[in-house]
Amino acid sequence: MTVAVSLIVLLAVLGSSIAVAAGMGITGLILNQLYSPLPLTRVMGELAWATTNNFILTAIPFYIMFGEILLRSGIAERMYSALIQWLSWLPGGLMHSNIGACALFGSVSGSSVATAATIGVVAMGEIDKHKYNERLFLGTLAAGGTLGILIPPSINMIIYGVMTDTSVPKLYLAGFIPGLILTVLFSLTVLIACLWRPHWGGQKVPTNWEARIRLLPDLLPPLVLLMVVVGAIFFGIATATESAAVGIVGALAITAWRRRLTLAMLIEVCEATVRTTAMVVAILVGAFFLNIVIQTIGLTQQLSRLITAYQLTPVQVLTAVIVLYLVLGTFMEELSMMISTIPITTPLILQAGYDPVWYGILIVLLIQTAMVTPPFGINLFVIQGIRGRGRLSDVEWGAAPFVIALLLMIGLICVFPEIAMWLPRLVG
C-alpha cells in the first residue's frame, strides 16, 4: 500500500513539471507526513550540509569544469581532423572518425551531451561535402556522444557511486572495457550498414601516411590528459576527485599553450560550471532527503517483501528493472530519471545478488540508450539542434541501428558480467 501511494505521489509531483529537485523534496515531505513517526525535516539542515560539502562529490563540478575548459581549448577540431586521416579508409568513411572522436573526447569528458555537441559541431559540415547518408551520419554523432558517460571519467558514475556508496574508481575501471567494446560495436554497425548499402558511405577522403604522422601531435593533448586523469586513478596515485583537479590544471595548461586562456574565457567557464553544478546538487539534495524518508518508512523492505511474495527469481527482477528503465527512458529526462530511481532499484538488485559495480555500468548503458530513444532523447535534440534543418525524425531513424547495438551491449554484460568486472577485480 505504502509502495503504491509513494509511487503515485512521486509520479504526480514530478509529472506536474515541478522542478525535479523540489519535487523529490516535496515528495519526501508528503511521505514523511503520511507515514513517518518522526518529523524528518529536522535532519534536513545537517543532511544538506553533509551532502554538499562532500569531497567525493567535488568531483562533479571538477569534471564539469574540466569539460567546459576543454570545450574552449580548441582541441576538438584538430583531434577530429587527425582522426579523419586515421579512420576514414574504412567503409563508412568519416562516420568511423565520428565514433572514434566521440570515444576519445568521451574519455576526457564526463558528459554525453557535451561530447555529442562538441563532435557534432565539428563534424556536421562534412555530410554535404562528402555526400553521406544524412540519417546514418547523424546517428553516429547522437550515439557516439553517449560514450561520454560510459568511458571514464563519468559524471553519472560519480552520482551513482555517491548515492549507493560504491567505489568510483572501481566504477571507472568497470566502464573501460564495455566502453571499448561498445565503440567497436558502433563502428561495426556503420561497417555493416555501408557494406549493405555502399552509397551511404559517402565519397572517400584522401588519406596518406605522411598526413597521418604529421597530424599525430593533434591527438596527443587528449591522449595525454586521458593518461593523466584516468591513469592516476587506475594506478592508485590519485582519487577520482584529485585526478579531476589535475585534469583541470592540465586543460588550463593546454588552453594557455594554444593561446586561448583569457579572463573572459575563465569567467565563462566559472559561471557555466556553477550553474550546471548547482542544478545537479539541488537534485541530489532532494534525492538524499527522499532517500532517508524512504528508508525510515521501510519502503524498500516492503518492495523486497513483494518480490519474495511473488517468488521472483534474480533474472526476473533484473529483467523487470531493465524494462522499467527502457520505458522510463523514452519520456523522462535522463539525469532526473537516474537520480530518482537509483534509491529504489539498487537495493532490489543487490538483494537479488548482483554486484553494485556491475549494476552501475548497466545503469549507465540504460541511460545511454535513453539518450537516443524518442520521444525524449537529449542527444537526439542536441544533434538536431546543430543540424538546424529537416526533421527530428531523421536523427531518430539514424540512431535506431545504434540502439540495437546498445541493447546488444546490455545483453552482453548481463550474460558475461566479466566484461565489466574483470578489470576492477584485477586491480583489486
Min CB(111)–another protein separation in Å: 10
List 138, 225, 297, 378, residue binding another protein (CB under 8 A): 378
Q: Within positions 25 to 44, which residues make up the interface with another protein, using CB under 8 A?
A: 25-26, 29, 41-44
Binding flag, residue 372, another protein (CB under 8 A): no
Instruction: Work out whether 58 is an interface residue with another protein (CB under 8 A).
Output: yes
Instruction: State which of residues 270, 315, 323, 427 lies at the interface with another protein (CB under 8 A).
Output: 270
Q: d(Cα 337, Cα 390) in Å, to the nearest integer?
A: 29
Of 60 and 108, CB closest to another protein: 60
Would you say 251 or 352 has its CB closer to another protein?
A: 251
Site membership for another protein, residue 385 (CB under 8 A)? yes
Q: Which of 266, 312, 408, 414 binds another protein (CB under 8 A)?
A: 266
Pick from 2, 5, 35, 77: which binds another protein (CB under 8 A)?
A: 77
Residue 300 C-beta: closest distance to another protein, Å:
23
Q: What is the rounded CA–CA span in Å between residue 428 and residue 424? A: 6
Nearer Cβ to another protein (356/374): 374
424 binds another protein (CB under 8 A): no
> Among 112, 189, 276, 345, which residue sits at the site for another protein (rule: CB under 8 A)?
276
CB of 316 to another protein, least distance (A): 28
| Separation of alpha carbons 115 and 142, rounded Å | 9
Contact residue for another protein among 273, 345, 369, 373 (CB under 8 A): 273
CB of 196 to another protein, least distance (A): 31
**x-or-dash pattern for another protein, window 303-342, by CB under 8 A?**
----------------------------xxx-xx------
Taking the C-alpha atoms of residue 53 and residue 61, their distance in angstroms, rounded to an integer, is 12
Position 260 contacts another protein (CB under 8 A): yes
Tell me: does residue 71 bind another protein (CB under 8 A).
Answer: yes
Among residues 268 and 408, whose Cβ is nearest to another protein? 268
Give me the 90-129 binding string for another protein, x by CB under 8 A, dash otherwise: -----------------------xx--xx-xxx-------
Q: Could you say whether residue 408 binds another protein (CB under 8 A)?
A: no
Length of the chain: 428
123, 159, 174, 283: which one binds another protein (CB under 8 A): 283
